[in-house]
Every structure is written in C-alpha cells, then in structure tokens.
Structure 1
Amino acid sequence: MDGDILHHGAAKTGALFDPATLLRLASATVKPAAESRGVTLDLAVLPGTPSGLVGDVGAVGSLVNALLFSAIDHSLSCPLTLRLSVQSDSPDHAALRIAMSGCFSAVDGFGLGVARRLAADRGARLTIEPLPGSGQTIFLTMPIGLPTRMTDAERLMSWARTRGGRLLVVDDSATNRMVTAGLLSKVGFSVELATGGAEAVLAVAKSAVPPEAVLMDVAMPDVDGIAATETIRSLTGDRGRIPIIAVTANAQPEDRSRCLAAGMNDYVTKPVRRADLLAALERWLTPPS
C-alpha cells in the first residue's frame, strides 16, 4: 500500500509547518471528546520525520481531526494511538503517512466520511486494516512537500528581505558607494550615502532617525573612517553604540586590529561581496522591533 501514492509527487504549494505542533493542536482539539468516552490518546511523530513540512496545514489538520473524532466516536474505551511519519524516495517525491490504531469499529461515520472526502480531493489514499485479535488500523498517505535547502547566500538574502532596515554607506569613491548601495538595496535595505567621515558623523549624530548600521570606508581624505568611528563612539545614548562595519581594501591583520580598536564592530574587505556584507549585518543588527 506504500508505493502507489508517490507518483503524485510532493505537494509543492502551501506553508511550512511543524508536524509535532500539528499533533499537539489535534490532541488539544479532540481531548474533551476522548475523555468523555474514556479513550486515552497516544499521538506521536516518529523519529527521523523532518521538523518542517510544506503543504496545506489546514487540510492535514482537518484530516487528522476527522480520523481522531471518528475513532473516538466508535471506540470501545481503549487506548488510541496515532503515528505520523514521512516517506520519501527523492527530494521531489514525499508522502505524509499517518497510522491510527485502536479498538474501534471503522464505519463511515461523520469523521471518517469527512476524512475520505478530504483524502480523495488531495490525491491521498485512506485504507483500513484489521488488527490481530480486535481493532483496526487506519492508514492515510498523502503527498507532502519537503523544504528546499538554501545555500548560505540564499539564507542571508532571505534574512535581509525579511529584516530590512536603514543603512548608511560611507565612501569617498562614488563608484564604491553605488556598488555597495546597489547590493544592499536589491535585498530590501534602505540606503543613505555619505562621501566621507565628517558627513557620516553628522548623519549619525544629527539625523532625526539615525541609520541602524554604518558601512564605513577606512582610507578617506579629511576625516577617515577611524576618526569618524571614534567620534561616533563618543556620542551618548544609542547613537554612540550604532554598529559600524569597516569596508576597506586594507586586508592585513594589523588593519583589522586598528579598525576594531577604534570601536568598529566588524570588518569586510573590498571588492565587496553581498554575502560578506549581509553576514556582517546579520551578526550585528538586532531583530526588528
């Protein structure tokens, strides 16, 4: 009974959900009915089941609830067990498998009838097998999606699009400013620009709403990044604690030490890579309020 469901393929649409949470909610929903019939519930996710599944969690929850209510309604007041697992023969083919066992009569009452209709609508399969002695096991197998694995770069871009925020890019080179600002704005950040250290200090100290982080060039005429950072660190309150990330072509260990000693939080070398910028920002930006 296992193999013929997999040709449907994984359910690619839907939301990411946790099967353990789904069972906890189902248990809470049917608990009053189970207690009234003297039925003990034993619901569990089998080891090795992914903690995240992709699918129509509302439909899956309705199926589980319908099966449980049907079994409770026709139970002989004995324990009822339900086990949830996932079977998969490739990343593109997976099925959710639910096995519910107990001493109940598997008749087409309200709950089981609902479950059969829901299963049929979603290309799933519901079968019933007798247990040795007495009782039944209902098996439900339906297509489900597995979350795709993201690369580190993809994960960081996803984080940036969710996090967003206001950043200040400081560089005396117009080209460098545009490149860095472009990398960041494309993933959802709002970017302000400063042509040197003096402008950076003013942007942090005097703006009605200061930026959430500063990406600071180091070697600049007039006020360089080191001096600008030291001045910002002398400010009182949150403005003096704003994350400052060095973005510099100076890649020697002593350059990094000098930046950190001045009060910078992190260090990214030029030519800049978006993944490096985002990784540094993720380390220092607080979650949005």
Structure 2
Amino acid sequence: MNGDILHHVPIHRGRAFAPEAMVRMLAVSTTALAQGRGITLDVSVLTGTPPRLIGNAETVSSLCNALAASAIACAEPGRLSFRLSALPNGEDSVVLRAELHGRYDGHCKDGFGKDFARRLLAAMGAQMTVTQEDDGSLRAMLDMPVGLPSRTTDGEVLMSWARSRGGRLLVVDDSATNRMVVAGLLAKAGFSVETATGGAEAVVAVAQAPVPPEAVLMDVAMPDMDGVTATATIRSLGDERSRIPIIAVTANAQPEDRVRCLAAGMNDYLTKPVRRADLLGALERWLAPLPV
C-alpha cells in the first residue's frame, strides 16, 4: 500500500457518499488479502449511522481500506471485525469511526499502529488510537470528521428525485396483499411501480424489459423460484442489468437469512412488515444522490 493513495484535503468537505456502500466495497476489495492469511473479515455499519454523509469520499474510503489492509497484514489467522459508526460532533457534522478489533502477530503489535499513523498525516483532521484489550487483542479506532446532508429529510429528497425522473421499481412477491402494500407505499412516494408474482417472472422482467427497473424489491420465500435464486440469476446476466440494486423484503428475520441474501448478491435487507421509513431509507442508500 502506498501513501500516495491518501489525498491532502480536508475529509469533512466534498460530496455525498453512502457508508453502507463504502463498507461493502471494502469487503470485496480485501477478500483475497484476508483469505490469503486465513482471516475472516467481518464488516458492518452500526445502527444509527446516517445512510448518507458529506465528505471527501475518496479519502475516507482510502483511509478505511488502508486501515483494513494494514490490520489484515498483521493479524493472526481467525476473525477480524471492522465496524463503521457515527459519533455526534456538533449540529451539522459527525465523526465517522472505523473500528478494527482482532488479534495480531507479536512482531506487528507495535508496528501496526505506528505504520498506519504515518499514513494519517496525509489526511487532515483524521485521528487514530490503538489500545490493547485485557484478552491481548488490539482495538484500532480511526476517527474522521464528516458532514451531514442538508436539513431536507432523506425521504423528501428521495420523493422529489423519484417524481422528477419517474423512478421505476419492480416489486416481487407471491402474496397479492404484500405486493399491494409495498407498491402503494412506493407509488405515494412518487415511484412508478411494476409487480411480479414470483422469482421467475422477476428475472424475465429485468432481462427482457426495454427499460429495466432502477431497483427490485425482492421477496425471498416464493414457490416457483425463490428470491435468492432469482437474485443470483439476475447477477449472472452479464450486462448493466446484472448490477441493478436488489433489496430483500422478507419475513425471514434471522441473522443467517440476512447473510444468505447478501451472499446471493442482494444489496440490502428489510424485514416484514416493512416500514415506510425503512423502505425509503434503503432506496435512498442505493438510488438517489443527495445534494451537497
């Protein structure tokens, strides 16, 4: 990793970015490095982190990736956790905290913190602390000041965006009642909504529609083709349609269900009965950019 990947710019200025999307990209980019060292990198964004933040997205992403790569290079085989959270920092800003926790090789325990601290000199405003836990593990916390979006609510921005461009969504569910409820919520928010009664119909709708939907709300348990299989099929299409955001909307609420959905290529995960705020929040994460 080279120090020149970090930019000499304040990281609390810039454009809107989605922490959830950034962490997912981090997980993908570090998979090979982690697997090569026998490490399972467990990444997550903690509840309460705003879905959109304002900052120098490239610098924030570079810092987080450099932190993860430095930790992986020094960690012992096993599990390494990466958590992203937001701490209050005034009326219109927060501190975005990237926290890594794991066990490290003896010869790396000092070098890990010092090596990465040197990289932080290129990112103005970022601070890092490394502490040793009672069990011998290390906890590294990287704090990056970032801004909050404008006072216009995410829901208002999303609805304005949907109405201005006629955002098209596909709702997939074998229950007519569930289709009606979700489609109704989305239509009231300004979206143009189409429906499919099962996974096979959803695959055809995405693959053959002259203009594909901008996102898919996908049930999981369906009799003809379940949502996991339908998602994997869409992801295998091999063109821009394979990259359409797919959001699980499911009654399956166990942690392993979420892992299964995300592993199949779904972008997000909501549980039934779905709330309007959660539905719009998930769509905002994957569709509508916020003004800076």
Normalised TM-score (structure 2): 0.46
Q: Considering only CA atoms, is the larger Rg found in Structure 1 or Structure 2?
A: 1
